[in-house]
Structure 1
Amino acid sequence: MTQRSRHVPCVGAIVHDTDGRLLLVQRTNEPGAGLWSVPGGRVESGETDAEALVRELAEETGLVVEPGPLVGRVRRGDYDIADYSARAIGGTLRAGDDAADARWVDAAEFAALPLVDELAETLGGWGVLPR
């Protein structure tokens, strides 16, 4: 009997500040340890995507966010990631759980950072790159 692979539901947050900079975190865990990505993580059992997004952003960045609409979906290995826009409404930016660093980046900084695979292409395709 063949076992069907099950994809892990995850969320990611696309958060821009008033200057158009994008919120990124440097990952401490695989996949992509040491690389930069949008913050997010697994959806826990019983959580909605919005609840997971708020929790993950607080854990990884110290920010309180208001979830917005779905921007797009990607599948990376076993992870099925729903990426939502979000707006920071409180908190203080700091690297937290599962993040070695967290920062707002403009277009030049974004282009210079070591990013997780396909992040620049995906965000560009969705029209949500930093300014």
Structure 2
Amino acid sequence: MDHPTIGIGVIVLRDGRLLVVQRGRPPGRGLWAVPGGRLEVGETIAEGVVRELAEETGLVGTPRGLCGIAERIGPDHHIVIHDWWVDVEGDAEPVAGDDAVAVAFVSRPELLALPLVPLLEDFLREHGVWDLMRP
């Protein structure tokens, strides 16, 4: 690791339920997270957000703006994640794709029953997402 990586996350709410994916690859294989990944060279963060949403869930969305920034540092990684609010067009159902094993819209209790990536619940609470989710 010679420098931090820019990551992107997608925050989508539908009827008070948060869109989450079960990761199929490291880091966090088998754990649940918001859709996201690494920003590619030459794309804007907004373009990356739209791409990751489509790749991991098959959904088409429009970025609304920054929800918050998370930073994850480990022995072999340093990722600065820009999580963006995204509006999804229509009521299409998500389908797991790319490195997602499964995908779902979940309420707070449903989210807490899942094995989550570290610090996801903290991020959601700190950035106001938790308060918008169905109890």
TM category (shorter chain) comes to over 0.9
Equivalent AA in structure 2 for residue 120 of structure 1: E
> In 2, Cα distance between the equivalents of 1:80 and 1:119?
14
Q: Distance in 2 between matches of 1:11 and 1:119?
A: 14
1:75 positional shift: 1.1
- 1:118 aligned residue: 119
Counterpart among 29, 34, 38 of residue 38 in structure 1: 34
- Which of 32, 44, 49 is 1:53 aligned to? 49
Q: CA deviation at 1:69?
A: 1.1
Offset of 1:92 from its aligned partner?
A: 3.9
Separation (CA, whole Å) in 2 of partners of 1:92 and 1:55: 17
Partners of 2:55 and 2:72 in 1: CA distance = 22
Residue 95 of structure 2 aligns to a residue whose secondary structure is coil
Does the alignment pair 1:14 with 2:11?
yes
Give distance in 1, aligned partners of 2:119 and 2:93.
29
Q: Please give the root-mean-square deviation of Cα atoms over the aligned residues, in Å.
A: 1.2
Aligned-pair identity in percent equals: 49
Partner Cα distance (1:50, 1:125) in 2: 22
Shift of 1:50: 0.5
Taking the TM superposition and a 5 Å limit, the aligned residue runs for 1:78-117 are 78-90=78-90, 91-117=92-118
Please state how far the C-alpha of 1:128 moved relative to its aligned partner: 0.1
1: CA distance between counterparts of 2:25 and 2:87? 25
Which residues of structure 2 form unaligned runs of 5+? none
**TM-fit CA distance, 1:20:** 0.7
- Aligned to 2:47, the other structure's residue is in SS state helix
SS of the residue corresponding to residue 63 of structure 2 reads strand
Q: Which runs of 4+ in 1 moved over 6 A?
A: none
Q: Does 1:65 align with 2:61?
A: yes
- SS of aligned partner of 1:32: coil
